Each structure stands twice: as C-alpha cells, then as structure tokens.
C-alpha cells in the first residue's frame, strides 16, 4: 500500500473506477479537478467478451468439472504489516477441505507484493500433498472469467471475485470494497466455504 500511495502522490492526473475511490484520492490531498471517475475498463471488456463454455474451460485448463471446484485467489494483505497474516488460517482451512476428498482446489498466482513468495511456496507444498489441485500462473482475462463462472465457489481476497456469483471474501485486504458478497473472518474461511457450498446444512 505505501508504494501505491507513493505512485498516487507522484501522479498529476488520476482516473478512478468509482466515485468512492475518487473521494479517497482527493482525501489524500489531490486537487479535485485532477481526479476523474472513469469507470472500470475491465467491466467493458467483460461485457464485450464471449466467455468460454464449460467444456472449453475444461479443455483449456485441463480440468474435469464433474468434480466440484474451489478457486482460490489470495494475495498478500498489503494493508497489514504482516502481509501473510491470514495464511495460516487459510491453508489450515484448505487442508480440511482437501482432506474430505470431494473438491479440486485451484489456485491463481498471487500478486507480486511483499509476501507473495511465501504464499507460492505454501501453495506448491499444498499441491504436493493434494495433486488433484492446480496452480495457474497467468490466465488471460477471458479464460479467468470463464473459470470463475465454472467454479463452485471462490475463496480469497481478490476484487476479481465480484465478477462471480458464489464468492467468499476474506475480510482484510478488500475491506474498503462495497460490493455485495459474503465475507468470512480470516480465522474461519473453512466454515464460510461450507456455508456457500452446502447452504441447506447451515441455515
């Protein structure tokens, strides 16, 4: 976050995706005439794109969606001094879920922020124990959105989860976002995931 703030302060003109984001930039001391709400180009791209079918995603990603899929998009929490402060709880929950043997767990590469190497190392160790899962290094936007649509549930702190229907967001990294969607305490992602997958059991 300090790097992003520094980039903001070094910029002369700002284009934000929402009015709330514009207000945050102005609150940092930028002159209002320099800050413009321009929308989110990725949403325009999504509206214009033809997403892949379930079968096309299976072929492109080497998956079989007859097995329920959890997509994990988890990045370092740059709002915290310890950017991997939630990782122990996250991977403990994933171990419990994987231990049930009923779901394939799919990981997206984390952002290149402080702590990403640690997350990658833990992810690779996890996949060595649970080879039914996969790690995707760099999916293009259409493939990623298509995969997100096919997944049974998404777990993580990525804002990209707002494109999906069944998401469970860990609370800290995206706590400023106002979009709808259930949140789980970082210490209890497993229970939150179970609620999303089996709502009739947890009513």
Helical H runs in the chain?
Answer: 2-10, 19-27, 41-48, 54-61, 87-99, 116-129, 141-150, 189-197
**35 plus 59 within the same structural domain:** no
**120 plus 162 within the same structural domain:** yes
**66 plus 111 within the same structural domain:** yes
pLDDT at residue 82, rounded to an integer: 78
pLDDT at residue 76, rounded to an integer: 87
If DSSP codes are grouped into helix, strand and coil, which group holds residue 108? strand
**27 plus 82 within the same structural domain:** no
List the structure tokens of 138: 């760099």
Q: Is 29 left (phi over 0), alpha (psi -120 to 50) or beta?
A: left
d(CA 65, CA 29): 49
Residue 71 lies in a domain: yes
Residue 90 lies in a domain: yes
**17 plus 93 within the same structural domain:** no
At 169, which CATH number? 3.40.50.2000
> In this model, does residue 12 exceed pLDDT 80?
yes
Distances (CA, A) of 11 to 23, 26, 37: 16, 13, 15
117-169 pLDDT, tens digit each: 999 999 999 999 999 999 999 999 999 999 999 999 998 888 776 655 555 55
Residue 48 lies in a domain: no
**28 plus 118 within the same structural domain:** no
CB 73 within 8 A of CB 161: yes
pLDDT at residue 14, rounded to an integer: 97
Which one is predicted more confidently, 2 or 73? 73
**20 plus 70 within the same structural domain:** no
**135 plus 172 within the same structural domain:** yes
| pTM of the entire predicted model | 0.75
Count structural domains, the chain: 2
The DSSP secondary-structure symbol of 136 reads E
**27 plus 70 within the same structural domain:** no
51-106 pLDDT, tens digit each: 999 999 999 999 999 999 999 999 888 777 778 888 898 999 999 999 999 999 99
Residue 167 lies in a domain: yes
Residue 95 lies in a domain: yes
pLDDT at residue 159, rounded to an integer: 77
Residue 49 lies in a domain: no
Give residue 33's domain range.
2-39
Instruction: Provide the angle, in degrees to the nearest 10, between the axes of the packed helices 141-150 and 41-48.
Output: 70
Distances (CA, A) of 28 to 7, 8, 76, 174, 180: 12, 9, 23, 19, 26
Residue 44 lies in a domain: no
Which one is predicted more confidently, 117 or 45? 117
pLDDT at residue 10, rounded to an integer: 95
List the structure tokens of 9: 């302060």
**113 plus 35 within the same structural domain:** no
40 — pLDDT class (breaks 50, 70, 90)? confident
pLDDT at residue 200, rounded to an integer: 43
**35 plus 69 within the same structural domain:** no
List the structure tokens of 150: 């096919």
**89 plus 181 within the same structural domain:** yes
Residues 92, 93, 98, 101, Cα dihedral to 10°: 130
């Amino acid at each position: 976050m300090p790097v992003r703030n520094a980039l903001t302060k070094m910029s002369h003109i700002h284009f934000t995706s929402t009015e709330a984001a514009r207000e945050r930039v102005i609150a940092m001391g930028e002159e209002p005439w320099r800050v413009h709400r321009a929308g989110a180009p990725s949403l325009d791209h999504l509206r214009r794109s033809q997403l892949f079918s379930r079968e096309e995603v299976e072929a492109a990603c080497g998956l079989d969606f007859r097995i329920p899929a959890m997509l994990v998009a988890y990045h370092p929490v740059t709002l915290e001094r310890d950017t991997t402060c939630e990782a122990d709880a996250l991977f403990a929950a994933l171990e419990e879920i994987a231990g049930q043997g009923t779901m394939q767990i799919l990981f997206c590469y984390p952002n290149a922020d402080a702590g990403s190497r640690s997350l990658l190392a833990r992810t690779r160790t996890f996949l060595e124990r649970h080879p039914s899962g996969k790690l995707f290094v760099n999916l293009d936007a259409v493939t990623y959105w298509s995969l997100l649509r096919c997944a049974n549930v998404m777990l993580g702190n990525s804002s990209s989860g707002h494109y999906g229907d069944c998401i469970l967001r860990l609370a800290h990294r995206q706590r400023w976002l106002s979009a709808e969607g259930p949140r789980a305490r970082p210490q209890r992602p497993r229970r939150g995931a179970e609620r999303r997958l089996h709502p009739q059991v947890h009513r």
